[in-house]
């Protein structure tokens, strides 16, 4: 499905990013995996090499830094001797606070990583895609990019921004052979959600099981989404079969948000 394609996944060392990297490699893609923690992306790279034999590159990158992103793309092009065909903007942060306790640091952290990081990586990847007449940009947003919730103003604002970027760019490049879409997960069974459960237990005194149940009940399916489910959707969007999907924010949340 992705033979002869080069995919770059940010935040690829764990959770959703790891699952997408493995799924793309399984379908024949060459893969570049980047994150702030080198050990994690190296482990994923070793797993890909062992199980799929695909060419893979593991790099450190801080997507909130334009210079770091530009250096990372330079290394990817140098190692693969080609442009990126599929970009998955998955790197992100999710922290919570009441609005009045949302510090400048917390606010800018979410915007710089979740939104500016998506912008920097997309701007670096897009020229090569346009020149080649084919490309896929897949932004991992959130159902918080479509609705609001208490205590996540910074996170929701950043993900709403990702949705605005997705929709605007999709229209701009629609005739070029490049598609731009967002995946909007609900609560996913990842380390990020585990940390959220820890915060709930600390603030409310509820047990971890009770906190987990409260998150599950936010979905009509009464469960968390898996990283593999998100990866399967990313695989469709990256494929030729998904070429008619453009400018969309596709929910994968069990039906908790229906817009």
Mean pLDDT for the chain?
Answer: 93
- 140-144, 180-184, 206-210, 249-253: lowest mean pLDDT where? 206-210
Question: Which of the four pLDDT bands, split at 50, 70 and 90, describes residue 131?
Answer: very high
Q: What tens digit of pLDDT does each residue of 211-247 get? A: 777 778 878 888 889 999 999 999 999 999 999 999 9
- Whether pLDDT at 193 is above 80: no
pLDDT at residue number 52:
85
**Which of 44, 77, 40, 81 shows the shortest CA–CA distance to 60?**
40
pLDDT at residue number 222:
84
pLDDT at residue number 180:
98
Q: What tens digit of pLDDT does each residue of 15-30 get? A: 999 999 999 999 999 9
Give this prediction's pTM: 0.94
The answer to whether 224 touches 256, Cβ cutoff 8 Å, is no
Q: What tens digit of pLDDT does each residue of 33-57 get? A: 999 999 999 999 999 999 888 899 9
Q: Which domains does the chain have, with CATH numbers?
A: 6-188+225-252 (3.40.50.720), 190-223 (no CATH)
The answer to whether 72 touches 64, Cβ cutoff 8 Å, is no
Mean local confidence (pLDDT), 156-174: 98
Question: Which of the four pLDDT bands, split at 50, 70 and 90, describes residue 190?
Answer: confident
Pairing status of strand 6-10 against strand 30-35: parallel
Structure tokens that stand for 50 in this block = 């062992």
CA atoms of 102 and 93, how far apart (whole Å):
14
Q: What tens digit of pLDDT does each residue of 66-124 get? A: 999 999 999 999 999 999 999 999 999 999 999 999 999 999 999 999 999 999 999 99
pLDDT at residue number 177:
98
- Whether pLDDT at 158 is above 90: yes
Task: Give catalytic residues, as residue numbers.
Answer: 155
């Amino acid at each position: 499905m992705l033979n002869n394609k080069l995919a770059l996944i940010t935040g690829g060392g764990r959770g959703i990013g790891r699952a997408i990297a493995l799924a793309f490699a399984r379908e024949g893609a060459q893969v570049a995996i980047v994150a702030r923690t080198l050990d994690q992306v190296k482990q994923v790279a070793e797993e890909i090499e062992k199980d799929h034999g695909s060419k893979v590159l593991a790099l450190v990158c801080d997507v909130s830094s334009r210079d770091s992103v530009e250096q990372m793309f330079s290394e990817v092009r140098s190692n693969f001797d080609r442009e990126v065909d599929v970009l998955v903007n998955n790197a992100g942060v999710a922290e919570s606070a009441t609005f009045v306790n949302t510090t400048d640091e917390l606010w800018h952290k979410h915007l710089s990583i979740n939104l500016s990081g998506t912008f920097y990586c997309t701007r670096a990847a897009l020229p090569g895609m346009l020149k080649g007449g084919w490309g896929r940009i897949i932004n991992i947003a959130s159902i918080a990019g479509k609705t609001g919730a208490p205590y996540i103003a910074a996170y929701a604002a950043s993900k709403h921004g990702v949705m605005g970027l997705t929709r605007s760019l999709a229209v701009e490049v629609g005739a070029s052979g490049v598609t731009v879409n967002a995946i909007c997960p609900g609560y996913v069974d990842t380390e990020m959600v585990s940390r959220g459960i820890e915060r709930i237990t600390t603030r409310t005194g509820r047990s971890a099981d009770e906190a987990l149940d409260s998150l599950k009940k936010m979905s009509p399916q009464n469960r968390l989404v898996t990283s593999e489910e998100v990866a399967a959707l990313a695989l469709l969007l990256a494929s030729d079969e998904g070429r008619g999907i453009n400018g969309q924010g596709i929910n994968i949340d069990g039906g908790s948000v229906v817009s």
